[in-house]
């Protein structure tokens, strides 16, 4: 069930009504209801893979409880590895098995050994990379004694399967989300209204920006050889906007939906395209995943408190693993590697440190220096995203090569020129709205502070009208495949 589907438009009000009106008095029933609703939500896609969620839930619940009472270091480590093996094992089988088999076969063929590999003919369960990482973080936190394991299985199951963020994040930490399942919730008007506002903006980003950009991205990336350098650049630019609109749109809808149920999820995107360098970009892009890798991979490896060589190694490991998390393809690995290359000089020259405020804080426009920084960071991002979208490495290198070698001028004649122009105008409107709202949690955050209700309503109606008029119909979210 997609957030941008009619099914969800029916599902959400039903779940919302039952959740607040019928079950608001009993926390246990409320949590159980969330678990059932979440399983229904997931089953809409494929009920058979519920078994994987259940396995992950039960293993980590049991491991968490046992870990806490266990003081023997060896046994504790064994329990942690049990959880890691189960979760990463599920991922390995469903997501990476074929990749490894095919690459080993290719590697052996170089030495003249011919192999007939047995690849698996299975589909990738939606959201597998998200909920396995979420449950893993729980066990690791319990192991590190940062968190007391919960005794409440229903609350834990709700934490793992919470439907707004089940299939594409944000990847929540137990330290943040689990206590919310254990505390009594009451309806919060302001939170719910802000949730709706955030959902609306997320829907706009997805169906208006991402899905309209997708039309040109698919056309250009599938016919790379036919287009001029300028058009290929437009294709790369549109893909960058598409993936941002798609994924941050999903995150906004997820966070907004959770707010309707009285939950606060972590902010997953914080206007990343207004970053002044790549370090800032990674503090603003897919925050829940980058902080996950920081806390559970980078820091355990020694972080940046080691020799320069080891720090650089750690950075490359984190970015390459992060790329590989996105998909079993060399293109993602190179994408991750490129970002590591972007990051290392900043670390070396200590330019990676956190800026206190968002760019041009309290001002309407950035300074020239800031403008140049934003544009150059964005250009690097666009370049890396070509690898993210390309079918394979040959395609990516061909694409980049063509941008610089083919005649630059001569924009492609798209079938529907009017639609292309409308899309371009909508992108400009979108960027302006994001810029104006960059100091809030989401672009429409500040609108809540506008006292004049008719003005607020007019803005909402305008966005709804644009969604209805220019939005595309029920396109799948890109991050569902991860």
Min CB(417)–other proteins separation in Å: 18
Structure tokens at 386: 């070509």
Query: Nearest-CA neighbor of 33 among 250, 203, 262, 253?
Result: 262
Instruction: Tell me the helices (H) and strands (E) count for the chain, helix number first.
Output: 20, 0
Residues acting as catalytic residues: 326
State the residues that interact with other proteins by CB under 8 A: 20-21, 187, 189, 192-193, 457, 460-461, 464, 468-469, 473
| Helices within 92-152 (DSSP H only) | 97-110, 128-143
Cβ distance to other proteins smaller for residue 24 or 218? 24
> Which stretch of DSSP H or E encloses residue 287?
helix 287-293
> Which stretch of DSSP H or E encloses residue 5?
none
Structure tokens at 435: 């810029």
CB neighbour list of residue 342: distance below 8 Å, 6 or more residues apart: 278, 380, 384
Min CB(106)–other proteins separation in Å: 40
Min CB(217)–other proteins separation in Å: 23
Query: Nearest-CA neighbor of 334 among 391, 374, 257?
Result: 391
Cβ distance to other proteins smaller for residue 104 or 461? 461
Q: Is the distance from CB of 288 to CB of 268 less than 8 angstroms?
A: yes
Cβ distance to other proteins smaller for residue 85 or 455? 455
Cβ distance to other proteins smaller for residue 176 or 456? 456
Structure tokens at 294: 């920081």
Q: Is the distance from CB of 147 to CB of 174 less than 8 angstroms?
A: yes
Min CB(179)–other proteins separation in Å: 23
- Angstrom distances, CA of residue 422 to CA of 151, 214, 271: 54, 14, 23
CA count, 13 A, side-chain hemisphere, 18 = 13
Min CB(457)–other proteins separation in Å: 7
Cβ distance to other proteins smaller for residue 26 or 103? 26
What is the rounded distance in angstroms from the CA atom of residue 67 to the CA atom of residue 139? Answer: 8
What is the rounded distance in angstroms from the CA atom of residue 147 to the CA atom of residue 206? Answer: 36
Min CB(396)–other proteins separation in Å: 36
Cβ distance to other proteins smaller for residue 16 or 480? 16
What burial class does residue 357 get, using C-beta atoms within 10 Å of its C-beta: 0-12 exposed, 13-18 middle, 19+ buried?
exposed
What burial class does residue 166 get, using C-beta atoms within 10 Å of its C-beta: 0-12 exposed, 13-18 middle, 19+ buried?
buried
Query: Nearest-CA neighbor of 381 among 250, 285, 261?
Result: 285
Q: Is the distance from CB of 252 to CB of 205 less than 8 angstroms?
A: yes
Q: Is the distance from CB of 130 to CB of 170 less than 8 angstroms?
A: no
Cβ distance to other proteins smaller for residue 354 or 473? 473
Cβ distance to other proteins smaller for residue 108 or 457? 457
């Amino acid at each position: 069930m997609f957030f941008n589907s009619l099914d969800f438009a029916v599902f959400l009000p039903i779940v919302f009504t039952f959740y607040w009106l019928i079950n608001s008095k009993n926390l246990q029933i409320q949590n159980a209801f969330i678990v059932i609703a979440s399983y229904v939500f997931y089953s809409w896609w494929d009920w058979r893979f519920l078994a994987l969620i259940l396995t992950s839930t039960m293993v980590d619940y049991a491991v968490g409880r046992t870990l806490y009472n266990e003081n023997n270091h060896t046994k504790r480590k064994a329990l942690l590895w049990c959880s890691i093996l189960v979760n990463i094992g599920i991922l390995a089988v469903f997501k990476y098995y074929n990749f490894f088999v095919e690459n080993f076969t290719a590697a052996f063929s170089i030495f003249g050994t011919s192999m007939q590999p047995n690849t698996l003919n299975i589909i990738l369960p939606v959201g597998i990379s998200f909920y396995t990482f979420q449950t893993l973080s729980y066990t690791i936190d319990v192991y590190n004694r940062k968190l007391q394991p919960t005794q409440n299985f229903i609350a834990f199951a709700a934490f793992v399967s919470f439907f707004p963020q089940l299939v594409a994040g944000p990847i929540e930490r137990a330290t943040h989300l689990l206590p919310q399942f254990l505390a009594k919730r009451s309806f919060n008007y302001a939170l719910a209204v802000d949730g709706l506002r955030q959902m609306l903006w997320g829907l706009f980003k997805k169906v208006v920006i991402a899905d309209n950009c997708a039309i040109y991205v698919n056309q250009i990336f599938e016919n790379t050889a036919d287009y001029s350098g300028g058009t290929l650049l437009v294709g790369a630019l549109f893909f960058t906007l598409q993936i941002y609109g798609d994924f941050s749109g999903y995150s906004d809808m997820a966070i907004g939906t959770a707010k309707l149920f009285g939950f606060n999820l972590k902010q997953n995107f914080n206007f990343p395209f207004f970053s002044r360098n790549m370090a800032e970009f990674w503090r603003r892009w897919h925050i829940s995943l980058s902080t996950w890798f920081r806390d559970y991979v980078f820091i355990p490896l020694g972080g940046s408190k080691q020799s320069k060589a080891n720090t650089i190694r750690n950075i490359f490991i984190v970015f390459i693993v992060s790329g590989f998390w996105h998909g079993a393809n060399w293109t993602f690995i190179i994408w991750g590697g490129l970002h590591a290359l972007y990051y290392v000089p900043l670390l070396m020259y200590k330019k990676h440190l956190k800026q206190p405020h968002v760019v041009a804080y309290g001002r309407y426009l950035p300074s020239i220096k800031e403008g140049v920084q934003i544009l150059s960071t964005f250009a690097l991002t666009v370049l890396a995203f070509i690898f993210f979208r390309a079918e394979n490495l040959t395609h990516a290198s061909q694409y980049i090569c063509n941008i610089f070698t083919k005649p630059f001028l001569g924009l492609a004649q798209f079938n529907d020129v009017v639609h292309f122009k409308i899309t371009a105008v909508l992108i400009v409107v979108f960027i302006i709205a994001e810029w104006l709202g960059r100091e809030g949690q989401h672009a429409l955050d500040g609108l809540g502070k506008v006292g004049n209700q008719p003005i607020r309503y007019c803005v909402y109606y305008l966005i709804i009208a644009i969604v209805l008029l220019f939005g595309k119909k029920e396109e799948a979210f890109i991050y569902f495949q991860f």
